[in-house]
Amino acid sequence: MTRENSMTIRTQASQERLQNRKQGMKDRLDARQQEMKDRLEARRKIKEVVDDLSQRPERPMPTLRPEEPRGGIPSRRGYVERAYQPGSGGGTAGIASPLTEGAAASAGTPVFDREFYDRSTYYANDYLLAVEMRPLRRIRMRDANGAAVELHFAETDPYAP
């Protein structure tokens, strides 16, 4: 083989490699281009479906027809309507002050009408101090109109937060 023949063979081989490489790059580029076209088409289809399902129509919503101006409100003498609430009409609803304890308190002799919970003993943290208490359960009183009033109290726990 001569030197020219070997150069020609090498040149042809290089050209074939370049041609193969060029064709491979072109094929990859075409595949990538087709993939992008497919993605764009899929996005377009999704947008169409979303637009079809959406609540907002393509055309603008109808508006109300314009109203003719009427001018200002004519002046006249004002009045007030009172909305009375229950118990505000001066009837027997509500508690009239002062409250006096016991049924016979109005006669001048106070009668204490109280009920208590059972006796309870409360201890300090170090148990050096003990306090015995009778918590108040209920008090019966009379208001200024002579109506009976009862106050009920919950049993409290001094150790509760």
- What is the pTM (predicted TM-score) of this model? 0.35
**pLDDT greater than 90 at residue 49:** no
**pLDDT greater than 80 at residue 108:** no
* Residues 6+ away with beta carbon under 8 Å from 131: 121, 122, 123
Which amino acid makes up residue 15? Q
**pLDDT greater than 60 at residue 91:** no
Mean pLDDT, the chain, rounded, equals: 79
Residue 144 is predicted with a pLDDT of: 84
Query: Do 111 and 103 meet the contact criterion of CB atoms below 8 Å apart?
Result: yes
With pLDDT > 70 as the criterion, what percentage of the chain qualifies?
A: 76
Residue 55 is predicted with a pLDDT of: 65
With pLDDT > 90 as the criterion, what percentage of the chain qualifies?
A: 17
**pLDDT greater than 80 at residue 95:** yes
Per-domain residue ranges for the chain? 1-57, 100-152
Which position has the higher pLDDT, 93 or 100? 100
Which position has the higher pLDDT, 130 or 32? 32
Pairwise CA distance, residues 110 & 102, whole Å: 6
